[in-house]
Amino acid sequence: MATTTLTPAEVTVTAQPARPTADRWGWTAVAAITAAVAASWAPQLALPFGDNHVGRIFARHGLHLQNLQEKGIVGSSFSADWSPYSDQPYAHHPPLLNLLDASFGALPGSGAYEILIGPFLLGLLVVPAAAALLRAFAIGWLPTLLAVATMAATGFFWLYSPLMFDMGLILALSAAVVALRSRPEPPRWLVVGGCVAALLTTLASWPGIALAAVLGLWLLAARRVDRVTVAVGASMVVGVVVSLAFIVGVSGMADLTSQTEFRTAGGGFTARQFLVRQRDYATEMLPTWYLVLFPFAALAGLIVRRTRFYLLVTLTFVGAWVIGLNNGSFIHDYWAYPVLIPGVVAMGALFDVLAGRLPRLAVGTGTVAAGTGLAVAFGAIVFGPMARDYVYRPADAGRLVAAHQPGPDQRRGWVVGITTPRWVSYYWGLPPQALHPDLLDEAGSDDLVLFRPDRRPDWIAPSVPTIDTEGGYGLTRVGDIRAALPAD
């Protein structure tokens, strides 16, 4: 097969001259940011699955791992079995995280950390991958570091990068594609890295598959058909084929179609309610200063020729992802997380333009001031109410459930006022069931019930004793609830 040699006119991104000292210091700073994020996430590895998005989603993967280890590959529907929560296998997404579950599940001991370590490592990948992408776009080191730090100082990143673990892979593939477009004869390590990133990205998620397709075509437009595009394209095809085989083979087309319909048209909300909800999520997950900067950054990224096409593609994807799958984005506050991808590129472009036009003293002073402010903003997330309310308080529910095992005769994991308690199934090995007065006679007197004392329904009398409490959660028995009911 012929090898295509690119002329300077065909290269859309021109790499900056090699500056070993600057690169060494720059990557050292990236490593420092990554280490700071890792240190801030480390305590979460010891937390139980609890009453939050992280607990609900990773408890599902915990059930996948339990069933895989007990039933084997075929018996667990290729690790998609999540009984006793549900009898129907869950295979609505590409299988990378299931593969990581199986891999890290072989580590000594058992616990939530086996499930968390894989996505947390992929979450950490976001930092160096974002830096690599900005450097591939020939963004200077100071703007690159500020853009990456700006991304890290958001709730979207700190809370949900491990949960939405595909972002680091998408950024890594993007960086590889941009670099491969600019190098007529790329080194072998870059081609191999691009192939690995392409494979893993298409095994990771639906957004990964969609963006990989566009990135692959973008690479093809620059290089035509050569050994690089064939290798990277083949890696993408393998990932897509494996993903579709897993999803369709386990769940079937009917289940996949119904899930798509639910995400796109399953809600009963108005356009106004949808917009208000997205506004609320954005202001919760992104600080005010980020929301103010973003429009200016996006404009700068669209003006700068190097980043224009990539920003157009990723902004369009975010709009389609949020609006097209509107029920998903209405329910989940993390749904719009891909906005960080165009966000980090746009911020890099804005800071690079400013760095090139402002006096050196102003650039240095502004960088120090911005870096200090971003460090404070990051610390406010890690040690402030966001971490407390979104991470640590919800873990109290899992800690309480894990500390008390139901009796052998209990057949349901009873809960009151708590939705989607997959972690109850993970710790108790029972299908969860919302308890209400009509079901009291079906439950055993000694059956445990998890509830929120501060959200106690009227039919649970204030005099009902609790076995134990943890934070805002309590355990009681069905018999105690019955005994406190008013006489007819």
Q: Supply 402's token pair.
A: 């894990």
Q: Which amino acid is at 443?
A: A
The 10s digit of each residue's pLDDT in 297-322 is 999 999 999 999 999 999 999 999 99
Tell me which of 107 and 37 has the higher pLDDT. 37
Which residues is 433 bridged to in the sheet?
Answer: 414
Distance separating alpha carbons of residues 488 and 477, to the nearest angstrom = 21
pLDDT band at 266 (very low <50, low <70, confident <90, very high): low
pLDDT at 11 over 60: no
pLDDT of residue 264: 65
Residues 6+ apart with CB under 8 A from 58: 49, 112, 115, 116, 119, 163
pLDDT of residue 439: 92
Q: Supply 126's token pair.
A: 């976001």
| DSSP secondary structure letter of residue 320 | I
Bridge pairing between strands 413-416 and 448-451 = parallel
pLDDT at 17 over 70: no
Neighbours of 469 (CB within 10 A): 13
* Mean pLDDT along residues 169-194: 96
Walk across the sheet containing 468-470 and list its strands.
432-434, 413-416, 448-451, 473-477, 468-470
pLDDT of residue 14: 43
| Residue 427 near residue 399 (C-beta atoms within 8 A) | no
pLDDT of residue 328: 87
CA 365, 367, 370, 375 torsion-angle sign: negative
Neighbours of 13 (CB within 10 A): 17
pLDDT at 28 over 90: yes
* Mean pLDDT along residues 47-61: 94
The 10s digit of each residue's pLDDT in 340-393 is 999 999 999 999 999 999 999 999 999 999 999 999 999 999 999 999 999 999
Q: Supply 243's token pair.
A: 């993903």
Q: If we measure between CA atoms, which residue out of 154, 385, 379, 126 comes closest to residue 281?
A: 154
In the three-class reduction of DSSP (H, G, I as helix; E, B as strand; rest coil), residue 205 is classed as: coil
Q: Which residue has the tokens 């610390």?
A: 379
The 10s digit of each residue's pLDDT in 104-126 is 988 876 777 889 999 999 999 99
pLDDT of residue 6: 44
In the three-class reduction of DSSP (H, G, I as helix; E, B as strand; rest coil), residue 78 is classed as: coil
| Residue 154 near residue 287 (C-beta atoms within 8 A) | yes
pLDDT at 244 over 70: yes
pLDDT at 259 over 90: no
The 10s digit of each residue's pLDDT in 449-478 is 999 988 889 899 988 999 999 999 999 999
In the three-class reduction of DSSP (H, G, I as helix; E, B as strand; rest coil), residue 424 is classed as: helix
Distance separating alpha carbons of residues 116 and 111, to the nearest angstrom = 9
| Residue 344 near residue 143 (C-beta atoms within 8 A) | no
Exposed, middle or buried: residue 100 (CB in 10 Å: 0-12, 13-18, 19+)? buried
* Mean pLDDT along residues 123-140: 97
> To the nearest whole number, what is the mean pLDDT of the chain?
91
* Mean pLDDT along residues 23-42: 96
State CA 261 to chain mean position distance.
22
pLDDT of residue 2: 41
